[in-house]
Each structure stands twice: as C-alpha cells, then as structure tokens.
Amino acid sequence: MPPQGGPADGGEEFREYVHSRRRALLRSAYLLTGNLADAEDLVQAALAKTYQAWGRIEDRGALDGYVRRAMVNTHISWWRRRRVDEFPTDEIPDQPVADQFGTAELSDSLWRAINRLPERMRAAVVLRFFEDMTESEVSVILGVSLGTVKSTISRAVAKLRADADLSPER
C-alpha cells in the first residue's frame, strides 16, 4: 500500500519518472551540495516529498521544477539546521591539504571556487549557469525577487572573478 498521498496505481508512472530523470536530478543535487553522499540524500528526500504529493501534481510537465524546488528547499533547510550546530571557538581548525600533484583542471578549480560561495549564491549560480535556467526561473525556485537573483548572481560572479584559484597567473 503506497504512503498516504502517493500514487494510487502503485507508482509505475513515478518509477518511470525517477528512472528517466535520476541522473539529471543527481547532477543538480551534487552541484548544490558539493559531495555525492549528500547529493544522493538530497535527491532521495526530494523524491520522497514528490511521491507523497504525486496525486496532487496535475501538470506532469512541471515535475522537474517541482522536484528541483523540493531539492533547493530541503538543501536550504539542511544548511540552516547545520548552522545552529556551529559554534565559534578559539581553536583554528585544520586546513585542507592542497592538491600536491598540481593536476587539477580548470573545472576542478571552478568547482572548488563555487563551493566557497555562500549557500544562496551557490544555489543561484548552479541553477542559473549549470542548470541553464533563466533568472526568472531561479527567482521562483529560490522564492526571492528577480532583483535579488540578479544581484546575488552578480556578486557571486564578482567573487569568482576575484578568486585566486581561478586567476590566469596560477
């Protein structure tokens, strides 16, 4: 018996959707979270929410938007919850060891630079440039105004331009 609110037909249509879109959803989640384990958890959580709402989703063409919105909202909820667990300390944490072989490609450097962006900036950049969404679509998914999206992306791009790892002299 499916969970309350899930597909009444046993979920065959839902399974087909997940099967056809899982790679794209996992890629989006990875770009939001920065690691595969968290990305898998994020996709799982978003799909669980989608499954529960499946019977209420009338426009099947909007499923990707619904799931991405669920992923972004869940991710934001997770990092807000994590922030509460972080406390200032007098001890400086260990610093990550840089790549000793110097073989990281530009895409790796770019990804590290994107990971250093604040969460909202990262989400806006990922949705706008990696998911190729319009600024309007990003504003709807993040639940902020179009002006906020534009200024957030502008500040994010400025930070990326100033990032030492992306410097041409490197």
pLDDT at 1: 42
Distance of alpha carbon 7 from alpha carbon 55, whole angstroms? 6
pLDDT at 41: 93
pLDDT at 100: 47
SS3 148: helix
12-84: what CATH class?
mainly alpha
pLDDT at 2: 46
Name the stretches of the chain with pLDDT < 50: 1-3, 100-103
CATH 1.10.10.10 domain residues, the chain: 106-163
pLDDT at 163: 83
Q: Please report the sign of the dihedral spanned by the C-alpha atoms of residue 159, residue 164, residue 165, residue 170.
A: positive
CATH 1.10.1740.10 domain residues, the chain: 12-84
Half-sphere exposure (Cβ direction) of 129: Cα atoms closer than 13 Å: 16
- Asked if 38 and 74 count as a contact pair (C-beta separation under 8 A), the reply is no
Does CATH number 1.10.10.10 belong to domain 106-163? yes
pLDDT at 83: 56
- Asked if 102 and 124 count as a contact pair (C-beta separation under 8 A), the reply is no
Distance of alpha carbon 3 from alpha carbon 49, whole angstroms? 11
pLDDT at 82: 61
**Phi and psi angles of residue 95, each rounded to the nearest 5 degrees, phi first:** -90, 145
- CA nearest to 112, candidates 33, 34, 29, 25: 34
pLDDT at 106: 67
Distance of alpha carbon 105 from alpha carbon 71, whole angstroms? 28
Longest dimension (CA), the chain: 61
